[in-house]
Amino acid sequence: MLDTLMLGAIEAGGTKFIAAVSDQDLNLIDKISVPTTDPNQTLGKIADFFSPYSIASMGVGCFGPIDLNLSSSTYGYIESTPKLAWKDFNILGALQAQYRIPIALNTDVNVAALGELKRGAAAGEQSCIYITVGTGIGGGVVVDRQIFNGYHHPELGHIAVKRFPSDTFTGICPYHTDCLEGLASGPALAERAHQAPNKIAKDDPLWKVEAYYLAQAIVTYSLILSPAKIILGGGVMQQEHVLAMVKASVNQQLNHYIKIPEIDNYIIRPQLKNEAAIIGGFILAKDALRLE
């Protein structure tokens, strides 16, 4: 019966994998973190963790890009990634072969967005966008309380952006050079400033440039998707002063063209923090069990 079943969740990140077990009410029972090495070694350690538990279903949020097109012959595969051992790896197939239970797969940031909507900062809303600004820039979209995917999952960090006046930085994205991630990710900031983002002074003019790019992206997302909440997380957003600068720039760039919620209730910080993708994974696992 459902009330006796345990749920599994995996946050498959480029640096580490986190695996966890919960009861059906999403109460955490156990959790582990292991370094991301090669698939056999990493998934082997995850299997050892799950082995004492009777897992009924599993939700997985994975670094991407990943193929989520159900009609694709490579559905469930990790696509282009600098981690060569994982490139073109069938992570969903490997997990299904190991556990033989219902498994729901999506991107790590999509799953985090679901967690924040169902149990976190956007609880009670019908839609949200979760943006993480760190090693890269990723975005997850939830519409009508369901993760949004089209032919491919959203890649919100790789949109083209209009240049900040006087910004001559080339950009660091290996695919698009000066897309949003190429201009405003943590490594882009570090290369611009020749130091880690958390070492950049609060009054450094570079933060105005950063806020401009993040705000421009938020305006674009708002015009296209019109979410109820936009959640900004990731390492760069841990700099307390940046959020206020982004909000001010959003108001300036949007210029009252459309109505959005009051800015302090619209652009917000994550509530679940580092647990968002794991909680989202439990939610996916529970939904997968119901669909069986």
pLDDT score, position 1: 38
Mean pLDDT of 98-108: 96
Cβ-contact 156, 143 below 8 angstroms? no
Each residue of 174-191: pLDDT tens digit? Answer: 999 999 999 999 999 999
pLDDT grade for 82, boundaries at 50, 70 and 90:
confident
Helical H runs in the chain? 39-50, 91-99, 108-119, 180-184, 186-193, 206-225, 240-254, 263-266, 276-291
What lies within 8 Å, CB to CB, of 145 at 6+ separation is 117, 118, 126, 127
CA atoms within 13 A on the CB side of 37: 10
How many residues are present in the chain?
A: 292
Q: Which residue has the tokens 């056999």?
A: 40
Q: Specify the DSSP class assigned to residue 54.
A: -
Reported pTM: 0.94
Each residue of 239-282: pLDDT tens digit? Answer: 989 999 999 999 999 999 999 999 999 999 999 988 999 999 99
Burial 113-140 (b: 16+ CB within 10 A, else e): bbbbbbbbbbeebebbbbbbbbbbbbbb
Report which of 173, 166, 112, 163 is spatially closest to residue 139, judged by C-alpha positions: 112
Each residue of 111-160: pLDDT tens digit? Answer: 999 999 999 999 999 999 999 999 999 999 999 999 999 889 999 999 99
Cα separation, 15 vs 182, in Å, equals 20
* DSSP string for residues in 134-161: SSSEEEEEEETTEE--SSS---GGG-B-
φ/ψ region of 226 (left if φ > 0, alpha if ψ in -120 to 50, else beta) reads left
pLDDT score, position 3: 46
Mean pLDDT of 32-52: 97
Could you tell me the domains of the chain? 2-111+273-291 (3.30.420.40), 122-268 (3.30.420.40)
Read off the amino acid at residue 263.
I
Cβ-contact 59, 7 below 8 angstroms? yes
pLDDT score, position 292: 54
pLDDT score, position 291: 65
What are the residues facing 232 on neighbouring strands? 131
Torsion on CA atoms 79, 80, 83, 87, rounded to nearest 10: 40
pLDDT grade for 4, boundaries at 50, 70 and 90:
low
